Structure 1
Amino acid sequence: MTLAAALLCLAGVSAATAFPRNEHQLSKRELAYSPPSYPSPWMDPEAEGWQHAYAKAKEFVSQMTLAEKVNLTTGVGWGGEQCVGNVGSVPRLGLRSLCLQDGPLGVRGTDYNTAFPAGQTTGATWDRHLMYLRGLAMGKEARDKGVNVLLGPAAGPLGRMPAAGRNWEGFSPDPVLAGVGMAETIKGIQNAGVIACAKHFIGNEQEHFRQVGESVNYGFDISETLSSNIDDKTMHELYMWPFVDAVRAGVGSFMCAYTQVNNSYSCHNSQLMNHLLKNELGFQGFIMSDWQAQHTGVAAAVAGLDMSMPGDTVFNSGRSFWGANLTLAVLNGTVPAYRIDDMAMRIMAAFFKVNRDINLDPINFSFWTRDSYGYRHPSANEDYEQVNFHVDARRDHHRLVRDIAAKGTVLLKNEGALPLKKPKFIAVVGEDARGNPKGPNSCSDRGCNEGTLAMSWGSGTANFPYLVTPDAALQAQAVQDGTRYESVLSNDAPGETKALVSQPNATAIVFVNANSGEGYIRVDGNIGDRNNLTLWRNGDELVKNVASWCPNTIVVIHSTGPVLLTEWYDNPNVTAILWAGLPGQESGNSIVDVLYGRTSPGRSPFTWGRTREDYGADVMYKPNNGNGAPQQDFTEGVFIDYRAFDKADKAPIYEFGHGLSYTTFKYANLQIQKHNAPAYEPTTGKTSPAPTFGSFSTNLDDYLFPSSDKVRPITQYIYPYLNSTNPAEASGDAHYGLAAEEFLPPGATDNSPQPRLRSSGLHSPGGNARLWDVLYTVTADITNTGSVVGDEIPQLYVSLGGPEDPKLVLRGFDRLTIEPGQTRRFEAQLTRRDLSNWDTVLQDWVVTEYPKEVHVGKSSRKLELHAALP
């Protein structure tokens, strides 16, 4: 792409919008627009929680040459080194290449690692401490492997549509529950000494049309990726919310998404990166591109992108938008010097924030092979040596996995069938109870649906060190109890199944599933996103058949979100239903813990509707804009999941936050304490001018590729060096001679002090510090009125009162273990942020004059206590 072509997005619109291939197709509708925002905000060394990191970063970056700074910001190319992503090293200062590695539920592509429960299952625990411990454990394992940036957690997709393929990587479609999951996971990962990465920013809510090449391979004729068209209010009140929590938690990096937002690609969208993330939220870390989500060079740099991943324009092309082109862009003044310094400072500040020493342990694995020996530079087949050292990073994390998976299992229905107590005869049915006959890791990136579903497919996966199946764990428990045990591990054996479950004394446990994943893999005709919300492999027919033959039928569902239970959930022979999510390697053990009452179950992190249409928003399966960018309008605004059901006054089967217990609880004594918080004060004033660190030569001879005795050139590897002192020849761009002012938008290179946004914070990451003032403390007494110890999960909802507000929004929760007869106090604080709305005219948060109420109870529709806020 030439520099001129790369500039089409600088004003916030995509190439398809600027030069439509078919004017008629675009004239049918007014396309959404993303306004420009420049210059890219520079770091704030005085930002809360970042002061020490920036002091160390300044000391380091001040010593770096221009080529070294470019090397730090540009990936070495797909397969250039051992990790899924590596940036160039700074050997002169002792810094090896930084290793970036997936993923959201464990370290991807290694061995002797733990396969943790998915984010969605973790969200179903509603347990902050478990969320933190999971992040800490994943961070420790990543560090043991030599990983420096772990690519997770995820709040994009948030979960706008229940069929979206990657919802399971996040925590919940509710922004508060998702935000707590993000914050606690980030704290855990970074306390282990690894940089966390909040992804995918933002509006990346489905897999269809997320990439042009991927879509073309599936037979779709599009020239631009999908545009998520999101209004300002919805962006702030819903989709940004959990990412704000990530910034508040001190996250070191963000990943921009493949998709467009309001017709500007996320990774060169100045409104998203410059205005919202770095200016309004005061994010002090670095923004990296998703792999091949960068489409421009200069445009991306001035729009706020800090790191190019994996560095090449197209996998294994050997060409880069940055690398030598970024070196040239800085030398000729197109990219201002402060911007390259800011990129390097942000990366190194994130590095030092997690307390890492420059002298890093070596990377001891290769993502590209499980063999001990392989190529250190796989794309070039060069430097054959030992690349995998098979370091066992697992510790005792299997205990944590089992605990999270059990406490994240939701007991949806129970007519007295559970807990099991040495039953006389257990009959297990369904292929979801068994293992994959070819092995749990036999399908690349788990891209199949064979056997029990403990993890879904895509880049957010990890290899299983082992997988305990439900069949194995239940059989072991049966042997211990003296229970008779038989199983039919097939969904297509009606004769054998009927003969088994219709016997006297049978307790039938049916295991069924529904899968989804990332869009580069198609499974059973599902292109990442689920085609429907029914159970896979005729699971619904299996349940109905078993229930017709056995009066005590228990159903266990492994899935990536809600499924439609309408045809059988109220069958009297279906005596219990459990959602076990994606439990990870201890799957069988964790479900046994819940079935036998050894662990208290969790609560649903999403709504279970009666029909697919009840959810409102749905996946776009066919392009709607000719061969231009598909246009996905988020017309429902903030009304997704339970908010949509409340607005339409539709009764779900099981509401958001629902979940049964093996004991009973009484709620009483709701109390509200009002605090004398300071008045909200908008931020004023200006920033300091953009700092620069050191000087650099403008002589192109100084940037030529070093002699082979200093740097050995590797095929397809991305370098910061030039191959010619003729800049046009070095860049391969016939338009090289254009001056910056001829194509850059106003302010793009401005390094003078900039006015602060009134909604931003003064050295306060996350926005105006007054948003976190506590306005009220809400308490209630929770009594265990049953005969066994149990966990209760009280939930606090707020009615904001306005005509455009949801009926209720979650604002607080806790998980309390309560002994029989014991009363514990539930306490939650309401901040100014919790009670505010985004004012699109004022461009700030305001507490409206509408009357507000608080509600406390067991779920979004079982709220025993309520009161008006004074």
Structure 2
Amino acid sequence: MRVKPLVIRLTVVAVMIAMVMAPFNTSSAEGAAVDKPWMNASLSAKERTALLLKSMTLEEKVDFVTGDVNNNYGFYNEGIERLGIPALKMADGPAGIRVANPDVQDKQATALPAPIALAASWDTEAASQYGDLLGKEAYNTTHNVFLGPGLDIARLPWGSRNFESLGEDPLLQSKLGAAYVKGVQSNPVIATAKHYLLNNQETERFTTNVKADERTIQEVYLRPFESAVQAGLGAAMCSFNKINGVAACDNDEMLNDVLKGQKGFDGFIMSDYGANVSTATSANAGLDLETPGVPYNMWGDKLLAAVKKGEVSEERLDDMVSRILQQMFEKGLFDHPAKNNLIDAKADGALARKIAEDSMVLLQNNNNMLPLSADKLKSIAVIGPDADNGSAAGGGSSKVNPTYSVSPLKGIRERAGNDVDVKYAPGSDPITAGDIIPGPSAVPSSLLHPAVPEEKGASVGYATYDEGENGLRGEYWDNAAMEGSPGFVHTDKQVNMNLGFYNFDFNARSPKVDPVPTKFNSMMSARWTGVIAAPETGEYKLSISSMGSGKLYLDGELFIDNKGTKLETTEKSITLKKGEQHSVRIEYRTDSPNFDDSDYGGMIRFGWEPPADVQDKLIKDAVELARKSDVAVIVTRTYDSEGYVDRSDLELPNNQDRLIKAVAAVNPKTIVVQMSGRAVEMDGWQHDVPAIIQAWYAGQEQGSALAHILFGDVNPSGKLPVTFPVNEKATPVSSEAQFPGINGNGDYSEGIDVGYRGYEKEGIKPAFAFGYGLSYTTFNYSNLKTKADKSGKKESTVEVSLNLRNTGKVSGSEVVQVYTGKLPAPVDTPPKQLAGFAKIKLEPGKQQRVTIQLDNKALSYWDEKSDQWVMPSGEVPIYVGSSSADIRLEGKVTIPEAKNAGKGNQDKNSKQAK
């Protein structure tokens, strides 16, 4: 959860003092000036911290570690002007800088491709450049703490926040995350790894208790954080969920013993916004900084009282302050105050485009449909609800206001040139936050017409309907009982509403949909009135999906009564005749017991399931355009966002599946471009189209990057960082106990077999495997060699080498992936796990010898009895290929018995004294 940020005018006094410490001037009650020997930049960060700490009062220390809930712009923790301590001015991420202050560059920054797209590049150098751009823009938009990267493993293929992180594999996340952190912190900015730990779903994310064993935590979920720590990470953010029964920010084992102890983290741990639920408990458990809470903080005066009572020691308080100050000194926050310098929109946009191009994954290319040739085309139909705007991005706190944007339509038009007629049809209604709600797609706006009240008005009933406008008349109340006059009245194209957190101003809203005022974000009620007219005669299923009661009246009679005690769907069949109008009234109230939690907002959708061959007007118009065009490019979209709902299915929302099938039926040259941050189900239409591109949320240059891929200016080289299953049932996490959990407990019973490991173990064939991605050229793998070199070390170093040749006709890049098989271990290990990778670019006909050193953790297992990694001796299968399922070469390596067997690869400082 986030609070509205605030701007603080920051005064930083930089006084350079000689190395010999001068006496302090004692401050008066009015805050007289003090000498500041800690501003001597020639001293070490540790020395400067010690000097400053001695000059701080008890009250100042408590204030320093407590967030300011009164800020208006930006997530700040106040500085202390008397001592020259700058405020911690935090910027949300991780896909760009979310500038909240309207006085800073019109709140604009570069909208980068989502981190899941970065992960699809499999490129550590790109990750470093990505991080550097974020750090640079954070600094130049007045921020000195960046809330990224996201290092949450994509455990669920439908996870609403998968787009913010770096995929399902811990090694891929670790390599890219470490490079990202180093890039950010090459600037005077502190990077923040989030969300620590096991924050892998949005459904019940504030309350869920994750049950996971130690080995699973160590081998999968901790690894990206450990790599970030080794990269010099300055801060980590603890999450809302519980871990084995203990709140993440209260979790002494996870914060003190594991992160600070085993992993040697010397930075500071902050809470997610509102995630701290205690005072002394969280402080003693290892939380160092409480970010502003909602609606109040648990620290501040409460922490001061706890220290005075001895519930929290002064030594622990000093440790909190020291950890923060030392990172501030070490990362340059004192010596290089953040500024408001105009960012280079053109140069940064060019990098955003390059990363987007490298991230797009060619999933299907039957009969070499791609690349397109503008010389051979006369017309292109561009279709899709958001294909004409550049705002396709994830929502929530990662939403960035771009410096400019290039829509897919604009990018294709500019690349195709004036000789190709490029026309546009939306094909479906705009995608909104309402589409996160599970259930059937919303009734299209083309079937609906709003009620027009009688001239004098009537308390019940309406006289006429507006045939010239689509949608239903919506009336909104800021109470749950429709009491008084409605506070907002307008025409909603669809009844497809998801308010609360999703309706704050930093969320991704379609520019085609009028926003609902934020005063309706909590308790509210609404009524929609108008008529519905079916496009064809047949049997239809109408539905209400809602949390809170939703009632559908047809022709004045109650047709559906959805109780909505939880988020659920009620549907009912009816025969409708073509063009026959039926009056519609929908009433909704936030009267579910769940609305006692103020994080929730109104959620309702008026849905339908029409007969298979029925097309509404939006689809019909798109079909007619496609029929007349040489090529049809359908740009689909999902809405993924931080919040409190995971859709829990993989279907494209808002009738887009039906759109694809209808267009493909009239144009055999139909290309589907998917803009999503998660896996998408394609089983119903995959074989109807020749080409599919997974474009992710591609940032502000999405249109240019897509056009370059479509026309072959750039050879696609992206590889999937997550497995795409056939559907939501064919996954390793398909039970209710695993997701969303039973009685508030989420059981990670799949253990270490997350993502492709689970598919391999259970023999589930995915639609597209982890690591998969096609190219416009071909590559040959040959001459595999393996070598284990102990060289007197406690554990072996394993190298794999092979020849890679570009056997096609164009230049291209290939990601060579090396997997280990089952280990000769006393515990069960994955049948396949990523152990190393390299991205190699080759010209046509060229060959390169590729050498990859394997990650030792892929050759080891976590031993829970000794709290350490153990590399077992014996023979290990080696698989080399273009994806986890496309293995080109197989070999083996023999790991010799390590010296001091059982001691290998032990984590630093196995346990830390508390």
Query: How high is the TM-score relative to the length of structure 2?
Result: 0.69
Q: TM-score, normalised by structure 1?
A: 0.72
Q: Which residue of 1 aligns with 2:304?
A: 327
* Whole-Å separation in 2 of the counterparts to 1:125 and 1:117: 11
- Aligned with residue 170 of structure 2, among 145, 168, 175: 175
- Counterpart of 2:397 in 1: which secondary structure? coil
Give the aligned partner of residue 694 of structure 2.
Answer: 579
Quote the residue 1:76 is aligned against.
Answer: 68
1:793 pairs with 2:818: no
Question: Which residue matches 1:147?
Answer: 143
- CA shift digits 1:28-54 (9 cap, x unpaired): xxxxxxxxxxxxxxxxxxxxxxx9433
* Residue 542 (structure 1) aligned with residue 637 (structure 2): no
What residue number does 2:427 align with? 490
Asked if structure 1 preserves the Cα contact closer than 8 Å seen for 2:90 and 2:145, the reply is: yes
Contact 1:161 1:619 survives alignment (8 Å):
no
The Cα of 1:657 is off from its aligned counterpart by: 0.5
* 1:468 equivalent in alignment to 2:458: no
User: Which has more strand, going by share of residues?
Assistant: 2
Give 2:126's aligned amino acid: L
**AA matched with 1:613:** K
| Counterpart AA for 1:102 | D
1:359: how far off? 6.1
Shift of 1:659: 0.5
- Change in CA separation of 1:853 and 1:466 when aligned onto 2, cut-off 3 Å: same
Aligned pair count reads 652
Give the C-alpha shift of residue 618 in structure 1. Answer: 4.7
Query: Structure 1 residues 625, 805: closer, same or farther in 2, change over 3 A?
Result: closer
Give runs of aligned pairs for residues 376-387 of structure 1, distance below 5 A: none
* Helix, strand or coil at the partner of 2:256: helix
Q: CA 1:843–1:297 in structure 2 vs 1: closer, same or farther (change >3 Å)?
A: same
Structure 1 CA distance for aligned equivalents of residues 68 and 735 of structure 2? 35
Alignment equivalent of 2:204, drawn from 205, 209, 213:
209
Fraction of identical pairs, as percent? 33
| Mean Cα deviation higher: 485-494 or 398-407 | 485-494
Cα distance in 2, alignment partners of residues 510 and 455 from structure 1 = 17
* Structure 1 residue 335 displacement after superposition: 1.3
Show the counterpart of 2:397: 459
Report how far residue 190 of structure 1 moved.
Answer: 0.3
In structure 2, distance between residues paired with 1:179 and 1:425: 47
Q: Partner of 2:76 in structure 1?
A: 86
Aligned to 2:326: 349
2:316 — aligned with what?
339
Instruction: Please give the alpha-carbon distance, in whole angstroms, between the structure 1 residues aligned to 2:832 and 2:862.
Output: 17
1:354–1:562 CA distance, 2 compared to 1 (3 A): same
Aligned to 2:875, the other structure's residue is in SS state coil
State yes or no: 1:164 paired with 2:159.
Answer: yes
User: Could you say if the C-alpha distance between residues 247 and 359 of structure 1 is closer, same or farther in structure 2, counting changes exceeding 3 Å?
Assistant: closer
**CA separation in 2, counterparts of 1:575 and 1:296?**
56
Residues 589/857 of structure 1: CA separation in 2 closer, same or farther (3 Å cut) = same
Q: How far apart in 2 are the matches of 1:582 and 1:841?
A: 43
SS at match of 2:713: coil
Partner of 2:46: 54
Residue ranges of structure 1 left out of the alignment (5+ in a row):
1-50, 212-224, 365-389, 437-451, 520-526, 681-772
What is the CA–CA distance in structure 2 between the aligned matches of 1:774 and 1:591, rounded to whole Å?
A: 44
Find the residue that maps to 2:869 and give its secondary structure.
Answer: strand
User: Matches of 1:296 and 1:81 in 2, distance apart?
Assistant: 24
Q: Counterparts of 1:780 and 1:52 in 2: how far apart (Å)?
A: 46
**Structure 2 counterpart of 1:403, one-letter code:** K
The aligned amino acid for 1:108 is R
* CA-CA distance at 1:590 after TM superposition: 0.6
TM-superposed deviation, 1:254: 0.3
Give the distance between the partners of 1:585 and 1:533, measured in 2 at CA: 25
The separation in 1 between residues aligned to 2:796 and 2:195, in whole angstroms, is 30
Structure 2 residue identity aligned to 1:419: P
Partner Cα distance (1:663, 1:865) in 2: 19
Root-mean-square deviation (CA), in Å?
2.1
Q: Name the CA shift for 1:61/1:81 in 2 (closer, same or farther; >3 Å).
A: farther
Query: Is the Cα–Cα contact under 8 Å of residues 151 and 196 in structure 1 kept in the other structure?
Result: yes
**In 2, distance between residues paired with 1:863 and 1:391?**
48
Deviations 1:346-398 (A, max 9, x none): 11121122233346246x5xxxxxxxxxxxxxxxxxxxxxxxxx944646100
Asked whether the equivalents of residues 786 and 892 of structure 2 are also in contact (C-alpha less than 8 Å), the reply is no
Q: SS of 2:690's equivalent?
A: strand
Cα distance change on mapping 1:511 and 1:361 into 2, 3 Å: closer
Contact 1:796 1:855 in 2 (8 A): yes
1:419 equivalent in alignment to 2:410:
no
SS at match of 1:70: helix
Distance of 1:235 and 1:826 partners within structure 2 = 32
Deviation of 1:125 after TM superposition, in Å, equals: 0.6
Residue deviations 1:707-726 (CA, integer Å, cap 9, x gap)? xxxxxxxxxxxxxxxxxxxx
Q: CA deviation at 1:412?
A: 0.4
Q: Is the 8 A contact 2:816 2:838 kept in 1?
A: yes
Aligned to 1:107: 97
Specify the alignment match of 1:644 in structure 2: 758
Letter in 1 for 2:167: S
Name the amino acid aligned to 1:577: I
What are the within-5 Å matches in structure 2 for residues 767-786 of structure 1? 775-786=797-808
Task: State the shift of 1:567 in Å.
Answer: 1.6
The answer to whether the 8 A contact 1:57-1:348 is kept is: yes
State the partner residue of 1:36. Answer: none
The one of 376, 384, 393 equivalent to 1:431 is 384
Deviates more, 1:103-112 or 1:255-264: 103-112
Provide the rounded CA distance (Å) in 2 between the counterparts of 1:239 and 1:123. 16
Structure 2 residue 683 is the aligned partner of structure 1 residue 566: yes
Matched, 1:863 2:887: yes
1:304 paired to 2:286: yes
**CA distance, structure 1, for counterparts of residue 719 and residue 630 of structure 2:** 28
**How much does 1:329 deviate?**
2.4
Aligned partner of 1:740 in structure 2 is none
Alignment match, 1:812 = 836
Distance 1:786 1:584 in 2: 30
1:825 aligns with 2:778: no
Residue 408 of structure 1 corresponds to which residue in structure 2? 359
Q: Deviation of residue 430 (structure 1)? A: 2.7
- Separation in structure 2 between the aligned mates of residue 641 and residue 549 of structure 1, nearest angstrom: 37
Secondary structure in structure 2 of the residue aligned to 1:360? coil
- The SS at the match of 1:864 is strand
> Which residue identity does 1:92 align to in structure 2?
R
Output the CA distance in 1 between the equivalents of 2:308 and 2:361: 58
User: Measured at CA, do residues 108 and 620 of structure 1 come closer, stay the same or move farther in structure 2, by a change above 3 Å?
Assistant: farther
1:610 and 2:726 correspond: yes
- Counterpart of 2:246 in structure 1 is 264
Write the distance in 1 (CA, Å) between the matches of 2:277 and 2:218. Answer: 26
CA positional deviation for 1:827: 2.0
Deviation at 1:67, TM superposition (A): 2.2
For the pair 1:478 / 2:593, whether they are aligned, the reply is no
Residue type at the aligned position of 2:879:
H
User: For structure 2, which runs of at least 5 residues remain unmatched after alignment?
Assistant: 1-42, 101-106, 429-616, 895-914
1:197, distance to aligned residue in structure 2 (A):
0.2
| Conserved? CA contact 2:108–2:400, under 8 Å | no
1:847 alignment partner in structure 2: 871
Q: Report Cα offsets for 1:121-160 as digits up to 9, x if no partner.
A: 110011111111011001000001121110000012x111
Deviation at 1:230, TM superposition (A): 0.8
Task: Answer yes or no: is the 8 Å Cα contact 1:453–1:582 preserved in 2.
Answer: no
Shift of 1:271: 1.1
Q: Is the contact between residue 94 and residue 148 of structure 2 (CA under 8 Å) also seen in structure 1?
A: yes
| SS of the residue 1:465 aligns to | coil
Query: For the residues of structure 2 that align with 1:410 and 1:555, how far apart are their CA atoms?
Result: 12
Matched, 1:665 2:656: no
Contact conserved, 1:162 with 1:618, CA < 8 A, in 2?
A: no
Higher relative contact order (CA 8 A, sep 6+): 1
Question: Secondary structure at the residue paired with 1:615?
Answer: coil
Measured after TM superposition, the shift of residue 420 of structure 1 is 1.0
Question: 1:782·1:824 contact (CA, 8 Å) conserved in 2?
Answer: yes
Give the conservation status (yes or no) of the 8 Å contact 2:427–2:621: no
Separation in 1 of the partners of 2:110 and 2:812?
A: 28
| Contact 1:266-1:272 at 8 Å conserved across structures | yes
Distance 1:827 1:453, change over 3 A: farther
1:97 equivalenced with 2:87 (yes/no): yes
SS in 2 for 1:792: strand
Helix, strand or coil: the match of 1:67?
Answer: helix
